[in-house]
Structure 1
Amino acid sequence: LSNVRDSILQACERYGREGFRVLGLAYKDITGDPLINRDDETGMIFLGFILLYDPPKADVKITLDNLENAGVHLKIISGDNEHTVRHTAELIGLPASKVLTGKQLQNIGDDALPTLASQTNLFAEVEPHQKERIIRALSAKGSVVGYLGDGINDAPALKAADVGISVDSGVDVAKEAADIVLLDKDLDVLLQGIMEGRRTFMNTLKYIFITTSANFGNMFSLAGVSLFIPYLPMLPKQVLLLNFLSDVPALFIASDKVDEEALQQPKKWNIRLIRQFMFVFGAQSSVFDFITFGALLLIFKVQESVFQTAWFVESVITEVLILLVIRTTRRAWRSRPSPWLLWAGALVVGLTLLLPYLPFASLLGFVPLPPGLLAGMAGIAVAYALLSEYVKGRFFRVARI
């Protein structure tokens, strides 16, 4: 009997190594006993195995490689036996040298588990509460954890994960516990979602960089120049129009292209970086504003209306230029913006240059600008863009996004 038992276990292990989920089938005659309990599961006659095989998709290895290249590390957490999990891992290209089983997890304390879980790719024969424990251990190690599951046993882990992901064909309990339900049971959809999320994050960061630095610089310039001139440096209605025009191209940042290297690794919010960016580029903007003020007052010796018009024109143009410069960490000419962003910027610059010469310009407090003054403003704007490109390169070499 011992030899028979050993041969059955060996066969079970062999099938597991081949990737099968193995169910043992046995029977026992309990006629006349209306109640069946655990004690009845003895002295049964073994009939054989039921083998279940769910091979991974042919292209899953490519998708997993792409996920790994994108900084997403995959782990398998399964209730299947160790041999089945190891076989599946080998098929999809995951390192299968180390497997942590549910039985081993019982002897691992909460203090040691985070480090051990982060170093292990395969977990086998785990119970539902152990899946949840693994997820919480990975989170405690500082990882942002997503969990993909479609069964009842996955519900606790789906709830514990930062992002719980199920599929439309999963059980209702799993779908209710998940944050995201995939309509297509394909990991490539998940990869596309991650990339789209990173694009959204980077474009949001661009908008924050641009608006915070511009607002900080304008506020400082307005307050500073008001100490030296007896009139408003820009009329309230001109300030409102400036904000409106500069926001038009900024709206199209949402559709802007993102450099490939910015999508390769996950990103986190860094308030300190945003604050540093605001101070550096806001201060630089104010420096050039004061250069503009000096040129207008000391070189061109302009009066109130010309001063306000010239600073308005210079402010709009420089905000469009700085948007094109700091939308990328590359050199600006090596990263192509989206057509919508480019056309919106060109339209705003063209309209700004035209505004002082339109029939209703006086209603907004604008007056025509002499060609020499326009050329001077253009020179300052170009110098501002070139210096911004240099400062950007130095800034992002020191502070990485």
Structure 2
Amino acid sequence: MRALAVATRPISEATSKISREDESGLCLQGFLLFSDPPKADISAVVASLVERGVRLKVISGDNRYVVRHLASSIGIDGSRILTGEEVGRMSNDALFSRAGKTDLFVEIDPNQKERIVAALRKAGHVVGYLGDGINDAPALHEADVGISVEGAADVAREAADVVLMRQDLAVLSKGVDDGRRTFTNTMKYISIATSANFGNMISMAAASLVLPFLPLLAKQILLNNLLSDLPAMAIATDEVDLTDLRHPQRWDISRIKKFMLWFGPLSSLFDLATFVVLLAVFSAGQDEFRSAWFVESLMTQLATMLVIRTPGPIWRSRPSPLLFGTAIAVGSAGVTIPYTPIGGLFDFVPIPLEILAALLGITLIYVTALETVKIFYFTTLSTQHHSLHRASRRRPGARTRRHSK
């Protein structure tokens, strides 16, 4: 409770001016108690954000006792505190060092809010700032994601990136999940596309060196790309593993490169195996070769989408109905096209059943190899990540520096 004492004394009606000196000889009438309790569900919201790896910090102009009591009542650790006076004495480098380790910033003036947000961003954190007053505008603008509410001051709403239309902070947890789901599916698409294209580039280059004819015609390549793009677009609707929702993620181009270098050559290896089977075993002609490789290339691309869309075993993570249905439809269409009049428009010929059976066997072996390599890849990646994390913790003063914009 915030308590105010109320005291009175009679004043003559002839008194025209009342000064501080008149506040003497008062009679205590009682106390006014003010309480601004947190929302009933805020503790659950805080717990849900912490569960998702989001660290919560409070920046307030109120005194340390009020802020600490509020923080403890909603599940925020209040043991690490910095006051506005301490922040004012700190250089930017000192604040950069302390900000990430502090949970409560108390007795803070408006200018210091912006400094704190800038220090957190400089320390490598992605910062969301929630505020609704005029004094919050600089901090809202400085944050990676400024969040305000519908009833906030106009300046705060203008400075914010996101305005909550309902007085319900649970939407923040949903926003975190939606953002991570979108990011994860975007990374799936980029990883699959780069590895598939890299593998196809190697295969096409290798085939061009040894074959007396083009391995695929331009219109056949375009048809392959068109068909494979349909399930690729459905990746946006794909299910996301719980582990991807529970931990923050960042863009990492080096991880994309590693992914491409691991899985692209694997695809090329099976393409080359297909070439050997078609030429050495079945003595396929030019049109048969192109028709068979078109089917094999399309089937392996679809298999790649379904297998490496999840770091875990494929049977434990179901794809979205749209992705799975589109992949099945496109795969069926790809196998059927050489036997239809449409296939003739693309210079395809019917594929003998024994070659089609061989292509199916190659695809099944490819799926098995892809699943094995995937598990080994993600296990290696996880081991390297933990090793780097332990090494950085052992080095005195080690930290990651990222400059704010």
Using structure 2 for the length normalisation, give the TM-score: 0.88
Cα distance in 1 for partners of 2:8, 2:66 equals: 22
Cα distance in 2 for partners of 1:329, 1:160 equals: 35
Residue in 1 aligned with 2:200? 218
Cα distance in 2 for partners of 1:26, 1:386 equals: 86
2:48 to 43, 66, 76: 66
Q: Deviations over 1:274-330 (max 9, x none)?
A: 011111111111111100001111110010000000000001111111100000001
Identical-residue share of aligned pairs (%)? 49
Does the 8 Å contact 2:3/2:31 carry over to 1?
no
Cα distance in 1 for partners of 2:6, 2:281 equals: 94
Cα distance in 2 for partners of 1:354, 1:301 equals: 22
- Offset, 1:57: 1.2
Structure 2 SS opposite 1:93: coil
Residue in 1 aligned with 2:340? 358
Does the 8 Å contact 1:25/1:50 carry over to 2?
no
Aligned residues: 377
Residue in 1 aligned with 2:308? 326
Residue in 2 aligned with 1:9? none
Cα distance in 1 for partners of 2:38, 2:142 equals: 26
Correspondence list, 1:136-155, <5 A: 136-155=118-137
1:115 to 97, 109, 124: 97
Structure 1 SS opposite 2:209: coil
2:239 to 233, 253, 257: 257
Does the 8 Å contact 1:78/1:125 carry over to 2?
yes
Counterpart residue type for residue 321 of structure 1: A
Coordinate RMSD, CA, aligned? 2.3
Residue in 1 aligned with 2:23? 45
Structure 1 SS opposite 2:92: coil
Residue in 2 aligned with 1:240? 222
- Offset, 1:97: 2.6
- Offset, 1:23: 10
2:162 to 166, 169, 180: 180
Q: Deviations over 1:201-231 (max 9, x none)?
A: 0000000011101111111111111111111
Residue in 2 aligned with 1:96? 78
Residue in 2 aligned with 1:166? 148
Using structure 1 for the length normalisation, give the TM-score: 0.89
Cα distance in 2 for partners of 1:156, 1:232 equals: 61
Cα distance in 2 for partners of 1:336, 1:273 equals: 24
Structure 2 residue 350 is matched with structure 1 residue 368: yes
Q: Deviations over 1:158-216 (max 9, x none)?
A: 11111111001111011111111111122210110011000000000000011101111
Structure 2 SS opposite 1:366: coil
Residue in 2 aligned with 1:398? 380
Structure 2 residue 109 is matched with structure 1 residue 127: yes
Does the 8 Å contact 2:140/2:160 carry over to 1?
yes
Please list every run of 5 or more consecutive structure 1 residues that lacks an aligned counterpart in the other structure.
1-17, 34-39
1:353–1:152 distance in 2 versus 1, CA, 3 Å: same
- My pick for the range that moved more, 338-347 or 112-121, is 112-121
1:363–1:56 distance in 2 versus 1, CA, 3 Å: same
Structure 2 SS opposite 1:274: helix
Residue in 1 aligned with 2:392? none
Cα distance in 2 for partners of 1:270, 1:279 equals: 15
- Offset, 1:26: 10
